[in-house]
Amino acid sequence: MTDIVVTLDRVSAIRGVRGAMLVSASDGLVIADSLMDGVDGQAVAALASSLMGRLRRTTQAAGMPAPEIMHLKAERGSLLAVPAADDVLVVAVTTADANLGLARLEMLEAARALV
């Protein structure tokens, strides 16, 4: 559990990242999180897992491989989600000016570490 917390802290320490969490992909429940105040972890977990599930079914129906990363860009920020092993998602919420490249790299690294 300590390793997971360290991994999440590393993602959430990146400039502009408002929080990172591990989410159960099939349940949409939070496994572990490192969030700033004002981020509704339960809502983010539930909606991110739902989006990723629909995206996976969409790519499957289109004959494409499963998505490696989901980047939902909004006016005031982004939602990033990366599937990891054992039905787990690494999810991050960022501001609009976040260092998204570094966030994506750290999230992919975190997902690999969970395999």
Partner 1 sequence: MRTLEPWVGPPLDSFLSESSARLVLLMTSAGQVVAQHGFARSLDVMAASALGAGIVASTAEVARLMGEPDFGALVHQGGGHGLFISAFDTPRGRWIALVVFGEDTTVGLVQLFFGRMCAELAAAAPAETPRGPVLAENFEHDLNASLHALFGR
Query: What long-range pairs does 27-33 form, CB within 8 A, spacing at least 24?
Result: 31/4, 31/88, 32/1, 32/4, 32/5, 32/8, 33/8
* Residue list 31-50, contact with partner 1 (CB under 8 A): 42-43, 45-47, 49-50
24 touches partner 1 (CB under 8 A): yes
Q: Give min distance, CB of 46 to partner 1, in A.
A: 3
Our CB check for partner 1 shows the closer of 19 and 28 to be 28
Provide DSSP, 9-78: HHHHTSTTEEEEEEEETTT--EEEEEE-TT--HHHHHHHHHHHHHHHHHHHHHTTPPPPS-EEEEETTEE
Binding mask 94-113 for partner 1 (x = CB under 8 A): --------------------
Per-residue tokens: 4: 């997971």
Our CB check for partner 1 shows the closer of 19 and 100 to be 19
Q: Give min distance, CB of 29 to partner 1, in A.
A: 5
Residues near partner 1 (CB under 8 A)? 23-24, 26-29, 42-43, 45-47, 49-50, 53
